[in-house]
Every structure is written in structure tokens, then in C-alpha cells.
Structure 1
Amino acid sequence: MTADEIVLGPLPAGITLAGEGNRIWNVLGHTYALKAASDTSFAFETLDPPGTGVPPHVHTTQDEHIYVLEGVFTLYLDGQWEKAGPGDTVRMPKGLPHAYYNRSDANSRALFWVSPAGRLAQLFDRLHDLTDPAEVVRLSALHDVDFLPPGAVEGA
């Protein structure tokens, strides 16, 4: 473990101010900012430029949620394509294949959280500034996030 690796435990009291995160990750063109981390949950804000997305994948041990702050996401959920905009909350139970994309011409921002926290923070540490999609898929599988094979979902 490195000195700046996130160590989970009980949720500390406090405020993460707007525009702040105590850890920032660049993951394949997305900017993720840590908002809160504990044993039971992990929350991060995303900035998703036009044309970015996360292909179909499954969290094997975590429920995931998205609260859209700005922009529109095109989402694959439970075998269907949906759209979510500002104020919408997206629920993705563990084991459900899902994906999200910003297919608009403007940035999207959202608050994401998973429960339990699992190893997502450690995964983001490993993915930071990584540019090889195959290595992203490999590392994700080691952290309980399994990507579906290319072409497994039509329109992805």
C-alpha cells in the first residue's frame, strides 16, 4: 500500500465543498473527483466530455447510482436504452449489465455512488491516466467490475 492509497473505514463526518474532491482521477477521458469513501459507500463526481462513455459492464458486488447534475446520459439498463437528464437518478443493482455515454455536444456532470464501496477507489487509482482499453478491462476484472465483450450489446 502506498502512502496516498485510499484506506476505507467508517464514514468520517465533514463537508466536501462544491468543486472539490480530495482525489482526482483521469479515466479514459473522464474526470472523476472523490467525494466520500467508507466501507459501506463510495461517491465520486464525474465530468464526461462529449463522445465519452463507459461500455457495458457489471458490478458483481455493488449497487450503483447516478444523480445527473448537468447534461444528458444515454444509458443501457436492463436490456434497454434510456436517457437521463438533470435531476434524474439512475439505479443499477449489482449484477445488472449497464453502460453510460455522453452522446451530446456538451459536457455532462453527475454524482455517482456505489454500495458497498468494494475496491472501486483502488481500481480508479490503477486506471488513472491509463490509455490502453484492454488493460482497463483486465484491471477492472481484478476489482469486481466485469466488462461485456465488444458487440454483446447492440448500439453500444
Structure 2
Amino acid sequence: MKKVTLSAVVGVAALLATSVFAHQHESSHDEYHATFTKLGEGKPIIYTGRPIYQHVKAGDLPSEIGLFEEILPAKSLGAPPHTHTNEDEIFIVLDGTVHFLNGTDEVIAEPGTVASLPRNNQHGFWNPYDEPAQLLVLVAPGHFQEFFGAVEAAVKESGATSPQDIGAIIGREAAKKGVMIDMSDLPPSALALLPPPPQ
């Protein structure tokens, strides 16, 4: 698997930080504290069988951005076609290769790719390859990250195990966050990763 260099990640992170600070609101400096985390460390949320490491949450910084890391397993769908009405997202591919849906176009993103996805842009992503992929995702505002824990809790509470039941939970929790899912726009390379429908 190709890997992006640490210097490239640091450079992109600096650009992201510069852009989001333009949207800070007034607040007391005493409310916020510097934190340091490492990729792949900490207790992850297990979302549809894959770990989501939340490095920065909405309440951590005055800008209310969120930053999380996810490991996308081989031959798996990361997210179906969906549209955020309230958030902008930036994906950075650190390792592996990921396919993105951008509107109706399929984009192949290798390590070092930065995908900047504004709200109201339909997108999705998946990994059709035999190796896992690693992504950093910046979301602004970061309150959307609560979605992953809500899905994890709802799946545990319901005891859902089938992809169809879990998909229904994802759809309900996404709608609560103003995110609309449209499976009809899933390209063939992503459709091939889905389990067969129940008999």
C-alpha cells in the first residue's frame, strides 16, 4: 500500500487549521485546552464494524471543528451516497486507495489526496481493494461526529445484525442530523461490495 508522508499531512493540517479559524466565535480562552493524540490510539467507536477514532470533537476548540480517523476495511462501503445540509467535510487519504462519489462522478483517491466536500454536495466513499485504507476526516461544524456513537448505541440496543436492519438505523440517525441518503446513485464498483438482498 502507498503511504502519504507525515510532512504532507502536517502541511494539509496547517492549511485546514488556517481556513477554519476564520470562522471562530467569541469565547473565553479558559474554556479550551490543548490536546495531543496519536493516530490509531485511544478508544474507538465501532461503526459498522470499523473503528472511528475521534481526535478533535466540536467542543474542543472555539472553531467547533471535528477531526476523526477511520480505518476502512478491504472490500467495504464507507458511506453510501449522501448529502449533508449542515456540515462541510474534508477527507485526507493517508493509506490505501479509496473511491469517492462526487455528485454522480466516481473519483479514485490515492494516498495524499485531499477531498474537499461542501455541504449540499452528494458524496460517498468505499474501498473496493484487498487492502484496508486509512482516512482523516475534518468536519465543520464537528457536532456531526455524534452520529457515529448514536448508530453504535442504537445497533446495540436493538440487537440488529443484518445489513438491512443496520442500514435502516443509519438512515434514521442520519436524517436526525440533516443528512439524506440516496442508495440509487451507488456506482457498480460500490454496489458489488453490498451483501445480497434477503431471500
Structure 1 residue 11, shift from structure 2 partner:
5.3
Matched residues in 2 for 1:92 and 1:28: separation?
Answer: 22
Structure 1 residue 86, shift from structure 2 partner:
0.8
Mapped pair 1:37 → 2:57: yes
1:15-58 CA-to-partner distances (Å, cap 9, x unmatched) read: 1123323x411111221100111252111100010121211001
Q: Which has the higher contact order (CA 8 A, sep 6+)?
A: 1
Amino acid at match of 2:184: G
Counterpart selection for 1:137 from 167, 171, 191: 171
Structure 1 residue 126, shift from structure 2 partner:
1.0
2:184: which partner in 1? 151
Answer whether contact 1:67 1:89 (CA < 8 A) is retained.
Answer: yes
2:44: which partner in 1? 24
More strand by share: 1
Structure 1 residue 76, shift from structure 2 partner:
0.5
Secondary structure (helix, strand or coil) at the match of 1:46 reads: strand
Quick one: percent identity of the two aligned structures? Answer: 25
Structure 2 unmatched ranges of 5 or more: 1-26, 156-160, 191-199
Amino acid at match of 1:81: E
Answer whether contact 1:29 1:48 (CA < 8 A) is retained.
Answer: no
Mapped pair 1:91 → 2:116: yes
Mapped pair 1:13 → 2:47: no
Which entry has the higher C-alpha Rg, 1 or 2? 2
Secondary structure (helix, strand or coil) at the match of 1:151 reads: helix
Secondary structure (helix, strand or coil) at the match of 1:74 reads: strand
1:107-137 CA-to-partner distances (Å, cap 9, x unmatched) read: 000101111113x222111112634111111
Please give the TM-score of this superposition, normalised by the length of structure 1: 0.84
More helix by share: 2
Please give the TM-score of this superposition, normalised by the length of structure 2: 0.67
Matched residues in 1 for 2:58 and 2:124: separation?
Answer: 25
Structure 1 unmatched ranges of 5 or more: 1-8
